[in-house]
Chain A
Amino acid sequence: MPQRYLKLAEALKIMVVDEDAARGRALANVLNDSGYKVVGLVLTGEYLPSVMADAKPDVVLIDISSPSRDTLEMVSSIHRDHKRPVVMFASDDDEQTVQNAVEAGVSAYVADGLSLAKFKPIFQVAIAHFQKHQSLERELSTAKSSLDERKFIDRAKGLLMEKRNCSETEAFSLLRKMAMDRKQRIGQVAQELVELLQIVN
């Protein structure tokens, strides 16, 4: 009996709250695979205190921008439905870890009195997961913006050829000169030019 009790106490109950469903599911899987117990995965705008009252998590990992965080802020000060308050894992405990977490876009609320040693590995898994997701998104958005820029460059070339009655090569060197003069990317100059001509016309 004491043996079993000890085991239960060690299995921390984790809840993941993330409106980015793919990222949230993946994090829950990673945690489960690492031997932790995920007792809840909240992907949409459910009222957190009710969900928490049922699942009774020891740790809540939550997207830092999630509107539900403001609700958690109140749970962390008091809540009648919640016997064991959760407190935000904040700077006094470990400044660098929190700094990394905020930059990666994840925050954590832990049951009052939970030891840092038990909680920290979980938090680090979450931070690493969010960091990975972030760098993937950055790559995607760079790819997308260079695609967008291509479109603007083509459009700006077309407009210049029409207005100045010049060849494609001439239009492009004109754009390149503007970009060099303004110390901007050629795509940026092209976009501004297209928008400016839209306003004028």
Chain B
Amino acid sequence: MICPSTPRLSTGKKTTMMRIEKPILRIGFVPLTDCAPLVVAQEMGFFTEEGLTVDLVREGSWAGIRDKVAYGVFDAAQMLAPMPIATTLGIAGVRKPTITALSLDLNGNAITVSNTLYEQMGEALPQMVQDRKLSAKALKKVIDHRKAQGKDKLTFGIVFPTSMHNYELRYWMASAGIDPDHDVNLIVVPPPQMVSFLKDKQLDGYCVGEPWNTVATLSKVGRTVITGYEIWNNSPEKVLGVNSDWADRNPNTHFALIRAVLRACDWIEKQEDCKPVVELLACEKYVGALPEIIGLTMCGKYQFELGKHPELMPDFNVFGRFAATFPWRSHAIWFVTQMKRWGQVPEDWDERMIAEATYRPEIYRAAASELGINFPTQDYKAEGKHDQPWTLYSDDRDALTMGSDVWMDGQVFDPAKPAEYLARLRQGRGGVTSGKL
């Protein structure tokens, strides 16, 4: 496999006639498989065709991504989906209005535990092995047992305080009545260090993106107990984030950027063979992991157990279909409910105002309509009502096929009533009201 040293030459086909205010851009990414849309936009020439010359810069930390976008070192970056909200609000760090008008993918994470903990969970609740949704209950039994014996708390790793990983790990735990602030230790560990921390017993489990779950399984360090998809089908994950001032100053550039990455997501979706994307991602300058490892989840398969056939999981990580690229304001509202649930923002902050300031579907629509890519005409959608793919109809556009959207515990989320939703989560299973992170 030869990794390209320069982006593929453009076909010369320019799809836009707009004046690009800033044709040379620096864009940050973190070496995880869901940087794929940015890598494809670069290597397949979509940036060039939109009139952009892009320097893709590999970044080691999410805080670095946030700060470099906030202070203009990066023009844009792959961000954790809650990051534009967290940065706009200044949760633990720099406060700068930040927006997203493009989602990069849905799903893509999993929860992995050490072999020892996996065995203990399996003994506590044997059905867990067949039905992964029972894994949180199994963990609850292990934790209760440890408490009774006076043993130390278990420690779990997350990648960042305001990340989907944090919220989904907590959701999973709380669904079984585990209080993530008191019953376990939660610590932040950089993704590439997760596996070695698990191996050295500094962690008992973690929630992380790929390839770091598959690496643990294949190197016999741990076992995946549940995927993010199974916790909440087709949940938001990463977005393309930019500084709000930057977007105001460079509207055409922002537009061209969204079009290029949108085309990349569409291209990934339409590939019958996933190998070319896998080989690009495997390059040292991108994810830098073996194609055999990256090729599992990127090709819709998941290796739950070493030595067995991988399971088919076509939606483990979704880039194009199900309107995956659309920046749903309802997703933003859901993030704010979780920030409130875990004490990161005050209770009286207005979810809808925050969602409208940070998630910008109108920019998405303008970019998508010129490309002939169909889009939703509404900004909000309920979650938890479909356990199968469904059809989203709108008056003046073609129908869209949407993915299932259920949670492991059957909750329903109405974006018009976030307070009621939050109250239900709190009084229901794992009604945790205190705590911070």
Contact = CB atoms under 8 A, between A and B. Distances in A.
Interface of A: 19, 45, 47, 49, 64-74, 76-78, 80, 88, 90-92, 98-99, 102-103, 107, 191-192, 195-196
A97 to B, nearest CB: 11
A196 B10 CA distance: 12
6 contacts: A45-B190, A65-B64, A70-B63, A73-B161, A73-B188, A91-B94
Interface string B177-205: 00000000101111111000100001000
A43 B237 CA distance: 31
A182 B207 CA distance: 48
B437 A77 contact: yes
Interface in B38-95: 59-64, 67-68, 70-71, 73, 90, 92-95
B6 A103 contact: no
B436 interface: yes
B96 A69 contact: no
Contacts of B90: 90
Given A70-B188, A71-B189, A77 B64 contact: no
Contact of B190 (A49, A71, A91, A103): A71
Contact of A102 (B68, B92, B95, B197): B68
B332 interface: no
B55 to A, nearest CB: 12
Nearest to B437: A77
Contacts of A19: 60
A51 to B, nearest CB: 13
A67 B92 contact: no
Interface of A is mostly: helix
B192 A191 contact: no
B286 interface: no
B436 A67 contact: no
B192 A67 contact: yes
B312 interface: no
B61 A65 contact: yes
B192 A71 contact: no
Nearest to A99: B71
B160 interface: yes
Given A19-B60, A70-B63, A91-B96, 18 more contacts: A45-B190, A47-B197, A64-B63, A64-B64, A65-B60, A67-B192, A69-B63, A73-B62, A73-B63, A76-B92, A76-B93, A77-B344, A88-B93, A91-B95, A98-B71, A102-B67, A102-B68, A191-B6
B193 A45 contact: yes
B9 interface: yes
A192 B6 CA distance: 8
B5 interface: yes
B228 to A, nearest CB: 19
A78 B434 CA distance: 13
A70 B71 contact: no
Contact of A195 (B5, B62, B197, B202): B5
Contact of B93 (A68, A90, A195): A90
Contacts of B67: 64, 102, 107
A71 B161 CA distance: 9
Given A70-B159, A76-B92, A195 B63 contact: no
Contacts of A195: 4-6
B64 A90 contact: no
A27 B192 CA distance: 26
Contacts of B6: 191-192, 195
A196 B9 contact: yes
